[in-house]
Structure 1
Amino acid sequence: MKEDSDLSTRNRIMQMLKTSGELTAKELTDQLGITGMAVRRHISNLERDDLIESTTVRLPMGRPAAVYRLTARADDYFPKKYHAVALDLLTELEDEAGEAMVNLLFERRKASLLKRYESKMAGKELEAKIAALSDIQNDNGYMATWEKTSEDDYVLTEFNCPISQVANKYNQACACEMKLFESLLGAKVTRSDCLASGDRKCVYHIRRT
């Protein structure tokens, strides 16, 4: 129960800073109705996690005080509806120009990603390429892992899909991702599990060609 209470207070502090911009520890304490020591503990943990930062300012009365604000990283903790905007735009494009134009858009995205990441694969053997691809996917929020299953076979697993809402409606997204992997790795890639199809993860089987 204490962990739930701590998490709730932590979230309330972040919400308060989101709406107020900047607050001192005393202002947080007064609004939360808890002890100053408890507030300072939460502030310390939030600073440790790079979710808030502080600057010292002079107040009209009394000694200078630290005021706290959210960091850029904290922005990820607030709700986003990017997938809804993307789906609306893709639906409008499909209605106006047809499915072929949507397919072309996904192909262009694949080409753009290939251009962005192919330098990370240059001069690497297949196993090093798979490790680099896993790092790329992790940076993009896919929670990826990989393993070698035999001399010429590997498995790349993704436990999260940041574009799942789009992929659920447009399977071109999944098809283009698999083609992208083949181009980056220079290997044969097949998929046995897919989050967009209701599986718990995406599983890619990679075979040396």
Structure 2
Amino acid sequence: MNQLNKLPTRERILHMLKMSGSLSAKEITSELQITEMAVRRHLSTMERDGLIESKLIRQTMGRPTSVYGLTELAEGLFPKNYHTLTLDLLGELENEVGEETIRLLFEKRRDKLKLQYESSMEGIPFAEKVKKLAQIQNENGYMTEFEQNDDGNYVLKEHNCPISQIANRYNQACDCELSLFKSLLNTEVKRTECLAQDGERCIYIISNRE
């Protein structure tokens, strides 16, 4: 039996679109051997969830046909080994020019991120700055939440690290993230737990300046 047939209908549709490219509801129905109404219900839900998008294709004859394709969000559901290539390249670079160059690369990335985000931090209360930082990290895939302690300081927790495989090998990535937080918030920030050092999450204690 085809392994794809064992998947739930939603996952089967995603795999079909990944393998075949854009498909119409009729083509998906024909492949899945279920009713077109059921297919359209799945497509509607997946489009609402941001996993697929539709576009009209004009025909030489007849009415235009809607076809469905994967969004960038859906593409992220499929395995990718970018980190392996990155680690290989960093390893080669380290062997050629030394560890100091690796540190400089991470620092340049930190400086680039600072330039990218610092304007959004200007002129807002400190609490809003912490909220904005959490939002930025969430958008970058860190699954971030924050809260304010009784002492007035903030605790920011990252439950995921999109670059964990790299950070596990190169702690400079973690050091630069901490430095970035300090720079954007202009306050003392301490990391008390780190995913790259066998922690369950990354935890930052942010001193309240107000």
String of CA shifts for 1:128-176, please: whole Å, max 9, x gaps: 2111111111111111111111344111111111110100011111111
Give unmatched runs, 5+ long, in structure 1: none
> Please, what is the CA RMSD of the aligned residues?
2.2
- Residue 28 of structure 1, CA deviation: 1.1
Structure 2 CA distance for aligned equivalents of residues 155 and 6 of structure 1 = 43
- Residue 52 of structure 1, CA deviation: 2.9
- Residue 196 of structure 1, CA deviation: 0.9
**Secondary structure of residue in 2 paired with 1:52:** strand
Q: Which residue of 2 aligns with 1:132?
A: 132
Structure 2 CA distance for aligned equivalents of residues 105 and 171 of structure 1 = 13
- Residue 63 of structure 1, CA deviation: 6.1
2:54–2:66 CA contact under 8 A, matched in 1: no
Give unmatched runs, 5+ long, in structure 2: none
Structure 2 CA distance for aligned equivalents of residues 66 and 114 of structure 1 = 42
2:56–2:64 CA contact under 8 A, matched in 1: no
Structure 1 CA distance for aligned equivalents of residues 110 and 64 of structure 2 = 53
More displaced stretch, 73-82 vs 50-59: 50-59
String of CA shifts for 1:84-136, please: whole Å, max 9, x gaps: 12111111110111111111111111111111111122123322211111111
Q: Which amino acid aligns with 2:94?
A: E
Q: Which amino acid aligns with 1:14?
A: L
Structure 1 CA distance for aligned equivalents of residues 13 and 104 of structure 2 = 45
Q: Which residue of 2 aligns with 1:155?
A: 155
Structure 1 CA distance for aligned equivalents of residues 168 and 47 of structure 2 = 37
Q: Which residue of 2 aligns with 1:34?
A: 34
More displaced stretch, 66-75 vs 109-118: 66-75
Q: Which residue of 2 aligns with 1:197?
A: 197
**Secondary structure of residue in 2 paired with 1:77:** coil
Q: Which residue of 2 aligns with 1:187?
A: 187
More displaced stretch, 122-131 vs 158-167: 122-131
What TM-score do you get using the length of structure 1 for normalisation?
Answer: 0.88
String of CA shifts for 1:58-84, please: whole Å, max 9, x gaps: 376x76543322234332222222211
What TM-score do you get using the length of structure 2 for normalisation?
Answer: 0.87
